[in-house]
Amino acid sequence: MARRSSLVAVARLDFAEVLRSRWLVFCFGVYALVAGVFTIVGLRESTVLGFTGMSRVLLSFIHVLLLVLPLLALTATAQAIGRARDDGALELLLAQPISRTAYFGAVAIVRYLALLVPLIILLGVMAAATGLVFGEDIPWGFVARTLVLSATLLWAFVGLGLLVAAFVRDPAKATVWALLLWALGVALLDFALIALMLAWRLNAPAVFLLAALNPVESARVALLSTAQPDLGVLGPVGFYLSTRVGPRALFGIGVAWPAVLGSAVFAIALRRFRRADVI
């Protein structure tokens, strides 16, 4: 009971810090900006071309979101402990009857929900706009699968960000590590896979295995499998995945692997935080 009360107390303090720094407003603004751009494009296409494209708008929005979510998660968590250490808040809190586990867990929960809740609200608004503006059936199934994938992907990179926060004390170095992890997860892997395929002529199973190790790529393939079960856009690799693995298994991998990765790195970060000199 005491552990729960201390966790709640730290969570309230960290949530107040999130509100003070306007992080919730920033997250919602980023989500809304990306969604607004793709919604305007969809409206323009429906006017000029004579068809409604909200389903395609949602799919394009989520593809961009898979690139934005890791960066937001790393930015929100990589310096969370360092800032609290620098301004003295960490020393003050740990001088109270608050365990390190409660503090670390509260920070993780608050930062994770600060990223996820605005996304849930915005996707609900976009789904409702599908029926009100475009006159289409609301794709609640696709929205639900998107939320599940986004939630697990966020958890993976929140864990990675907390891992950086637990191991790197210098704020500038923590920022560099966060950007490096984002680049490795989002910007560089596609190019690395293309280089490997050109150099070694890897077969489809090997390409899929290498891609699935990246939580962003596994979530992307899972999203494509829900929108296009035959995965024709992926060429021979897509044909192999659709026939040998199947859309349901791909979705399961896209959900399970980021969740497992996030939990594993969170456990490592928590162990480091509990044993290291954090003051």
What secondary structure, in 3-state letters, does 121-190 show?
HHHHHHHHHHHHCCCCCCCHHHHHHHHHHHHHHHHHHHHHHHHHHHHCCCHHHHHHHHHHHHHHHHHCHH
Q: Residue 175 to residues 24, 30, 68, 200: CA-CA distances in angstroms?
A: 20, 19, 16, 34
A 10 A CB-CB count for 30 gives: 18
Measure the CA angle with vertex 18, ends 17 and 20; round to 5°: 60
Prediction pTM value: 0.83
Nearby residues of 19 by Cβ (< 8 Å), 6 or more positions away? none
The predicted pLDDT at position 41 comes to 60
The predicted pLDDT at position 52 comes to 47
Q: What is the pLDDT along the chain (279 residues), one digit of tens a residue?
A: 556 777 787 888 877 777 777 777 777 777 777 776 766 665 555 444 333 455 666 677 777 888 888 988 998 898 888 887 877 777 777 777 788 888 898 899 999 998 998 888 888 877 777 667 666 666 777 788 888 988 999 999 999 999 999 998 888 888 889 988 888 887 665 555 555 555 566 665 666 666 677 888 888 777 777 666 555 555 555 555 666 666 677 788 888 999 999 999 999 999 999 887 766
Give the integer Cα–Cα distance in Å for 175 and 83: 12
The predicted pLDDT at position 47 comes to 44
The predicted pLDDT at position 113 comes to 92
Instruction: Residue 163: name the closest of 101, 104, 223 by CA.
Output: 104
Give the integer Cα–Cα distance in Å for 266 and 29: 27
Q: What is the DSSP letter of 96?
A: S
Q: Is residue 217 helix, strand or coil?
A: helix
Q: What is the DSSP letter of 136?
A: P
Name the token pair of 184. Answer: 């490795």
Residues 102/7, Cβ–Cβ less than 8 Å = yes
